[in-house]
Amino acid sequence: MPTIPPPAPRAPSGTKPAFAFPVPPSNPATACNSAKPPLTPPPIIASTSSTSNKPRPPLLPPSPGTYLSVLDFGARPDDDTDDTAAIKACIDAAMTQKKTVWFPPGVYHHNQQFRLDGVKLRGAGMWHTALIGTANGSVRDFGFRIAGDGAEVRDLFIENAIVDRRGSGAKAFTSARSDSAINWRVENVWVTHSHVGFWMSGAHDGIVRGCRVRFTFADSLTFNSGSSRNFIEHNHVRGSGDDGIATLSETTGGRHKGIAGSAVSTGNIFRHNTIVANWWGHNADLAGGTGHVFENNYLADNSAMGCLTINHPIPFPMHDLTDSVIRGNVIVRGGGRITGQLRGAVWIYTGSASARNILIEDNHILDSLYRGIHLTGPATQEIRFVRNRIINPGAEGVYIDKLVTGSGVFENNYTSGATAVPFRNDAAATAYNVSSTDNNW
C-alpha cells in the first residue's frame, strides 16, 4: 500500500470548504483492522466568503533572472495571430538555459502540441492567461506533452476552439511511456472543450492539483499504461464525455491495444476531488493495478453507468486490481440504466480480471437511481465492505449478481429507505462466500 502524503490546504484563508469529510486513517495498510464507530453523513457547509468565486488579481512573474517571457520571443496576446512559433522558441530556450517559461496575462493562440522535457511553465492565473488551440484532427495539435524530469504547468486556462466531436484527438495534456515523465506537476489549470483533459501514459510521481476540467468529449483525467505514484487532489470535473477520473492498468490485448510489456499501474492516490454531471462513462473508474487509494471525493449525477466503479470489461483486458482502498467518498444520485442493466452507484464488474484485497469503507451512497452497491462479473472478488451508509436507493441497497465468485466481508454497513430489499445475494453459495457482521439491513 502507498503512504498517503499530507493534504494540501483545502481553502484560502477566510473561506470554508463546500464539504467537510470525516478524517480517515492515515495508513491504508492498517485501515482494514481499524475499529471506528459508524459515521454520520458529512454536513453541507455554505461558504461565508463573498469573494470566493471572484478571480484573483494576475500573478506576478517569477523572480528576475529565473524566467523567459514568451513576449520576448515574438508572442503577441489578444490578437488573431498565431503564437505557436514564438511559444516553441521560448520553451526551447528555457530548456537550454534551465529557466521557467512565463506567459503574461492575455490570450495566446497555438496549433501545435508543445513538448515540455523537464521544462517549467507558468501563467498569470487561470482567469488571466489563456492558450487557445486553433487546429483539429490530431493528438499533436494542442496542449502539452509532459516528458523528462520535473516538467510543470501552472496557472493558466487552455481550450480548443475547434474540437466538436469525440474523434478529434485533441488532448490538453499527454504523456507516453517513451517520454519517461517523472516528478511532474500540473496545478491551477483550467481545461475545457478538449477531446481529453489528461491522458497520462507511463507517467510517475506526478501531481495534478487544483485544476478544473470541463466539457470533454472523452475522459477528463486518466492515468494508464503503468502510470504510478501519482497524486491527484482538489480537482473539479464537470461534463465529462467518458470517465471523469480513471486509473487503468491495461494488458497487451483487447480494444485498448495496450503496449507490449505494459507495466502494472501502482500506488495512484485520488482524494478531495469533485466529479459531477458526466454525460458518458463513470465519474471514477479503478480498472486494474495495485495499491491505489481513492478517498474523500464527491461524485454525483452520472448519465447511465456506475458512478464509482471497479471496471474490468472483457473487451478491454486489465491487470487484476489488488491491495487498494476506496474510502470516505460521497456518491449522490449515482448509477443508471444501460444495455438492459440497472447499474448501481458503486458498480463492481470483474469481467476480465479479479479484484482482491480491496477495502471499501466509510462511503456515503445517497439517492442512488437503482442499487447502492452492485457486484457482478465472473472473475474473483475478494472485497471487504465496512461502515458504508446507503440511503434511499431506488432498488436494493446491496445487490450481488448470480455471476459473482469469491468472497465478501460485510461489517457494520447501514441501509435505509431501500425501494427493494436492502441486501440481495443471487450468487451461488458454493461460488461466493458471504460473511456478515453487525449490519443494519
Q: Residues near 104 by Cβ (< 8 Å), separated by ≥ 6?
A: 61, 69, 70, 71, 77, 124, 129
The answer to whether residue 376 scores a pLDDT higher than 60 is yes
Other beta carbons less than 10 A from residue 43's beta carbon: 7
Model pLDDT for residues 323-339, shown as the tens digit of each residue: 999 999 999 999 999 98
The pLDDT tens digits of the residues spanning 62-110 come to 999 999 999 999 999 999 899 999 999 999 999 999 999 999 999 999 9
What pLDDT, in 10s, does the model give residues 379-413? 999 999 999 999 999 999 999 999 999 999 999 99
User: How is residue 70 annotated by DSSP?
Assistant: G
Average pLDDT value for residue range 181-208 = 97
Question: What is the rounded radius of gyration, in angstroms, for the C-alpha atoms of the chain?
Answer: 22
Q: What pLDDT is attached to residue 253?
A: 53
> What is the rounded distance in angstroms from the CA atom of residue 27 to the CA atom of residue 31?
6
Which CATH number applies to 105-437? 2.160.20
Residue in 66, 114, 70 with CA at minimum distance from that of residue 90: 70
Residue 14 above 70 pLDDT?
no
Q: Which pLDDT score, from 0 to 100, does residue 165 have? A: 74
Residue with cell 514568451: 70
For the whole model, what pTM was predicted? 0.87
pLDDT for the residue 23: 35
The answer to whether 271 and 233 are in contact (CB under 8 A) is yes
Contact of 235 with 284, CB cutoff 8 Å: no
Alpha-carbon gap, residue 252 to 66, rounded angstroms: 44
- How is residue 268 written as a grid cell? 495512484
To the nearest whole number, what is the mean pLDDT of the chain? Answer: 88
Instruction: Please give the Cα distance from 245 to 331 (Å, whole number).
Output: 14
Q: Quote the CA–CA distance of 302 and 275 in Å, as a whole number.
A: 9
